[in-house]
Amino acid sequence: MKNNEYPEIMLPERACELCGFDGGNALELHAGEDVLVIHKEQMTAIEMVHVISMLSEMSTDLTVALAKACGRCNNCGGEDDDTGENDPAQWVESCSLCRDLLDDSQNIYIPDYLLKEAGISSSAKLEASADRDGGEITVTEAGNQFDISDVPPGILTVLAQSGICLAELDELIMLEEIVYGK
Ligand SMILES: [Zn+2]
Ligand SMILES: [Zn+2]
């Protein structure tokens, strides 16, 4: 059942003063998954510059916070941590676990008709396990709703280039733990 109780947002007076919002401004709302941005419906060039710089500052800060939550990849705890090089882009590159997460060909693809037969939606995430002796692979619907495949390539590239552990990111997404504002 859908929860129809929504928060009623009153904009704090001081925030409105800072934003230059007065009763006379029509405001424009941009609602996306997990975010709401409000700015004036009509803006001058400098007002637009202010909005752009706030948004890019926020996106940098959030990216840094996400990167910190994941930490650097030390070859994912593997033995041959030869990632002592100073180029962070090489850290993820030389970790096979992280590299596989960037590689689409590692995903499980099952034809739609088979999914249908199994009663699994074609958009569902899949999980596979292998039976060592029986020569069988079992594919089931994954328990988690999101994983690293839901992260846009642009964000993944920035994190990978900075040597951030993608396996840890995948783990954090699946665990659905709070990683910001705890
Ligand atoms: Zn790692
Ligand atoms: Zn790794």
User: What's the gap in Å between 168 CA and the centre of ligand 2?
Assistant: 8
* Separation between Cα atoms, residue 80 and residue 74, nearest integer Å: 9
Residues 6+ apart with CB under 8 A from 167: 73, 76, 95, 97, 98, 101
Q: Are residues 62 and 80 in the same domain?
A: no
User: What's the gap in Å between 83 CA and the centre of ligand 1?
Assistant: 11
Residue 110 identity (one-letter amino acid): I
Instruction: Answer yes or no: is 1 within a domain.
Output: no
User: What's the gap in Å between 118 CA and the centre of ligand 2?
Assistant: 33
* Separation between Cα atoms, residue 58 and residue 64, nearest integer Å: 10
Instruction: Answer yes or no: is 149 within a domain.
Output: yes
User: What's the gap in Å between 147 CA and the centre of ligand 1?
Assistant: 16
What is the token pair recorded at 133?
């002796």
Q: Are residues 45 and 82 in the same domain?
A: no
Q: How confident is the model at residue 4 (pLDDT cuts 50, 70, 90)?
A: confident
User: What's the gap in Å between 80 CA and the centre of ligand 2?
Assistant: 12
User: What's the gap in Å between 76 CA and the centre of ligand 2?
Assistant: 4
Q: Are residues 110 and 163 in the same domain?
A: yes
Contact 149, 160 (CB under 8 A): no
Q: Are residues 54 and 111 in the same domain?
A: no
Q: How confident is the model at residue 38 (pLDDT cuts 50, 70, 90)?
A: very high
What is the token pair recorded at 165?
């552990």
pLDDT beyond 70 at 1 = no
For 72-106, b/e burial (b = at least 16 CB within 10 A) is ebebbeeeeeebeeeebeebbbbbebbeebeeeee
User: What's the gap in Å between 150 CA and the centre of ligand 1?
Assistant: 19
Q: Are residues 66 and 81 in the same domain?
A: no
Q: For residue 11, what pLDDT is reported?
A: 86
Q: Which domain holds residue 144?
A: 75-175
Instruction: Answer yes or no: is 109 within a domain.
Output: yes
Q: How confident is the model at residue 61 (pLDDT cuts 50, 70, 90)?
A: very high
What is the number of domains present in the chain? 2
Residues 6+ apart with CB under 8 A from 59: none
User: What's the gap in Å between 149 CA and the centre of ligand 2?
Assistant: 16
Contact 28, 48 (CB under 8 A): no
- Which carries the bigger pLDDT value, residue 166 or residue 91? 166
Give the other-Cβ count within 10 Å of 159's Cβ: 22
pLDDT beyond 90 at 85 = no
